[in-house]
Structure 1
């Protein structure tokens, strides 16, 4: 297993890492490993555009028509009526 030495860290950053590690019941090294693993091995989050593109093309446009609401001038029942 490899070792990693990180130099030149701000004292406040190290203190925050110590506090976070203590709150999770871990050593500073274990907390550092967990942060790195979460940052590097989590699935990539899609941008809003990528998410929209990935949605399947199902249904008809009429399925998604907006119902009348209180701002409509149609005098019809509101969405929550």
Structure 2
């Protein structure tokens, strides 16, 4: 797992992080990981798969016959593994 080093954190900021971590019952490092995770992946973010599924539902979805036809047209051959030669 990658690691990050943050230099020159002001004393007041470090104290605030330690206090926040104590409030949540975790280490300062775990608190910082949580803060970074929330910043990078906010709960309200748009997820592509969910968006596409909602568009399909709004469009009326597929009938069973359409799904069977699509499955019959699909390439059934196993995928070739990538080669890095």
Could you state the TM-score of these two structures normalised by the residue count of structure 1?
A: 0.52
**In 2: Cα distance, 1:35 partner to 1:12 partner:** 17
Moved over 3 A (4+): none
Aligned 1:54-73 pairs, distance under 5 A: none
1:2 aligns with 2:2: yes
- The Cα shift of 1:3 comes to 0.8
**In 1: Cα distance, 2:2 partner to 2:39 partner:** 18
Question: Per residue, is there more helix in 1 or in 2?
Answer: 2
- The Cα shift of 1:44 comes to 4.6
Could you state the TM-score of these two structures normalised by the residue count of structure 2?
A: 0.50
Structure 1: state its 5+ residue gaps. 46-81
2:30 equivalent in structure 1: 30
In terms of Rg, which structure is larger? 1
**Over aligned residues, Cα RMSD in angstroms?**
1.5
2:21 equivalent in structure 1: 21
